[in-house]
Structure 1
Amino acid sequence: MVHQRRKSDREAVSEDDCLCAISWLKLNMAQGFVIVDDVERRLSWTTGCAIDAFDTLLDEGLAMIDDGHKDGIRRYWFPCVSSISTPGGADT
C-alpha cells in the first residue's frame, strides 16, 4: 500500500520499515496528539512521508483526525494506545 501511495520510484520500503515507523509513532509520538510538523521535525521525514504514515494509520482505524482548532492545524489522535486510568482502576 505504501508503494502504491507514493506513486514514484523511490527507495524500496520493506514491511519491517513500515512496522518500525508505526511502532515508533505509536510509542514515542502518540502521547496525546501529533501534527505533521512534529513528525517532519523529529523524524526528518518529508511532508508526504508523514501524511502517508498517518493515512495508513487512519485506514487501519488506529488514528483519528481532529480538525476543530482555530489555528487550522490538523491533529492526529491515537486512541488505540491512549488510556486514562480512573481511581477505581477502570480504563476509559
Structure 2
Amino acid sequence: MASCSCKKRINQPSSPESLQLEAGPIYETRSRKLEVDGIILREDLSEIVLHIEYGLKDRVRDSVCALLDHLAEWGGSYLSQSRTDKE
C-alpha cells in the first residue's frame, strides 16, 4: 500500500483548546462502543489527574487515509478539469 499523505495529520493529538469534549455518560458510552467495535484505541494516561487519549486503530486509520487520498486526487483532477473548461 502506498504511503498515506494524511497519516501524519491523523496521528497528531489535538490540543485541548481545539477539542473540547465533555466527559459524561453519553460520551463515555459512545467511546466505549467505538472501542468495543474495534475502531478506536483507549489509552489511560492517568497517574494523578484523569487523562485518557483516544486514537484510530491502524486498520481504520489506513482506510480513512485511503479514502482521503482518493478524495484529494479526485479534487485535484476536478479542479484541473474546471480550470481547463474555463479557458
TM-score w.r.t. length of structure 2 = 0.39
Higher helix share: 2
Q: Which has the higher contact order (CA 8 A, sep 6+)?
A: 2
TM-score w.r.t. length of structure 1 = 0.37
Larger radius of gyration between Structure 1 and Structure 2: 2
